[in-house]
Amino acid sequence: MAQLVEEWIDLHADFLYRLAFRFCSNSADAEDLVQEAFLKAKENEDNLTSGPGEGRAWLVRVMRNSWLLKLRKDRRKRDWDPAWVGEILQVPSEEDATNRFADIQPHLDKMPWTFREPLVLHYLAELSYREIAQQLDVPMGTVMSRIARGRSWLRNRLGLRGSD
Amino acid sequence: MDCDLFKYLWRLGKGESHRELGEAFTTLRSHEASCSLCKAWVTQELALDQHLSQELARVDVPVDMIKRIRQRLATPPTEPVPIKANPMRGWNLKRVAWVAVVVLLIGTGTLILLPQPKPVTDDSWNLFWDDCFAWEVSPPDRDRVSAWFATMGIRTELPLDVNYQHLVSHGLAVWDGRLVPQLVFANPSSSGGRPSIAKVLVFSSKQFQLDSLFPLPGSQGGTRSRIDFLPESNEKSLYLVTHAGEKLDWLIESMVSTTQSESR
């Protein structure tokens, strides 16, 4: 089974890091989240199954839970605004700076969490509306409307074409 | 197929590869083929989707991250260091604990006695817009309205024989100190230029002695409102409907309305 976790690292580590970075906008936190997800996989390796797509879904779920737990622990979920937290409390590394000022990230940072999370899960993790509804424990119509409004938000700020 | 419905179903199916839509998928395809506006819209949507997917995936992964993950997994978990016993520690902790309990009690009491105004948060706005969206996509039917009353702690038998497509609002009214389910219906296409409004109050035999509602009083002076019972009222639930005196054929689906006031 340890071999399965090794396999997952090769297959999913890069994807998981991208997702984590879009969640927390910070490379150090993102890498921590990825490491924690694989540590949990190692701790639970006897219960893991190797079906197609299961590893990725399992890791996404575990990482999302860790991130929400961290937000709750820091008691900063409500007031959380990575844009100013990043600018005021930390001097970003060169790597952070490259990613931070990539086209989409500043806009994503300002997006409310309720839109940002389903949007990232849909477009980056490629989860269907149904899977996102299951993960977030909300009705599918809610997922649709949140993704539509998040998408509309980004489209307007990026100056892209399209309609609501 | 209407273009708005096409867009809605297309987005719904997008997350499910369109397969779960069944027959609707064929209708979608034929509408897309025949409507140039929708065809252009789909092209734009797909381009935007592709752009967002690419942009979101454009994150540089740190060099050697995989190596660091493997190193961390290979490191055995550290044993917690035992804390040295301190003779004063227990005593201090007890005092601190007592002070904390007292402060907590005072704080809790103050919070209970002085309710603070609540800020309107993003989450509450999101719930509000979700409700608006849900109402636009599919207005509530009898089952959903019943479920809403159940969440408010009211178990009720709502009328079956009314047209829920005309429902514009539902909530709770206060009648003699008790909460009574209330449904408001409106018919915008009524003759006379003004919409017809009908308010239905649901009286349950568990809350009221239903016999005491008879006979219905006539209209009070100064008001045009009239009251009737819906014909499907029974010994467990009485449906009192208030309206402006017009016919209720737009509301009652079976049209068998023998109004109490007419019989009087």
Same-domain pairing of B28 and B147: no
CATH number where A66 lies: 1.10.1740.10
> Are A17 and A54 in a shared domain?
yes
| Residue that finishes a domain, picked among B91, B107, B123 | B107
> In the listed set A79, A108, A123, which residue is the last one of a domain according to the structure?
A79
CA B222-B225-B231 angle, 5° bins = 150
Closest Cα in chain B to A28:
B62
The whole domain housing A22 covers 1-79
CB contact under 8 A, A128 and B15: yes
pLDDT tens-digit series, residues A99-153:
443 467 778 888 888 888 898 888 888 888 888 888 888 888 888 888 888 888 8
- What phi-psi label fits residue B205: left (phi over 0), alpha (psi between -120 and 50 degrees) or beta? alpha
- Return the residue matching tokens 């940072």: A109
ipTM attached to this prediction = 0.73
Of A79, A103, A136, the residue at which a domain comes to its end is A79
The residue of chain A with its CA nearest to that of B68 is A35
For residues A93 and A67, state if they share a domain: no
B-chain residues within 8 Å CB-CB of A39? 72-73
B75 and B160 together in one domain: no
Assigned domain for B144 exists = yes
Q: Which of A95, A124, A160 sits opposite B56 (nearest CB)?
A: A124
Q: What are the chain A neighbours of B53 within 8 Å (beta carbons)?
A: 123-124, 126
Domain count of the fold of chain B: 2
What is the residue range of B258's domain? 136-263
Domain boundary among A30, A56, A79: A79
Residue range B70-120, pLDDT digits in tens: 888 888 777 666 666 665 655 677 788 899 999 999 988 888 888 677 788
| A86 and A163 housed in the same domain | yes
Total tally of structural domains belonging to chain A: 2
Alpha helices in B114-237 (DSSP H): 122-137, 142-151
Answer yes or no: do A73 and A110 share one domain: no
- Which of A18, A160, A163 is closest, CB to CB, to B59? A18
Q: A106 and A48, same structural domain?
A: no
**Residues B75 and B140 grouped into a single domain:** no
Tell me: the pLDDT tens digits for B147-180? 889 988 888 899 998 988 888 889 999 988 888 9
Put simply, whether the predicted model's pTM sits higher than 0.80 gets the answer no
Q: Which residues contact B122 (CB under 8 A, 6 or more apart)?
A: A112, A114
Q: Are B93 and B147 within one domain?
A: no
Residue ranges of chain B whose CB lies within 8 Å of a chain A CB: 11-12, 15-17, 41, 44-45, 47-49, 51-53, 55-62, 65-66, 68-70, 72-73, 121-123, 126, 129-130, 133-134, 137
Q: What is the pLDDT of residues B4-61, one digit of tens each?
A: 888 877 776 665 555 566 666 777 788 888 888 888 888 888 888 888 888 888 888 8
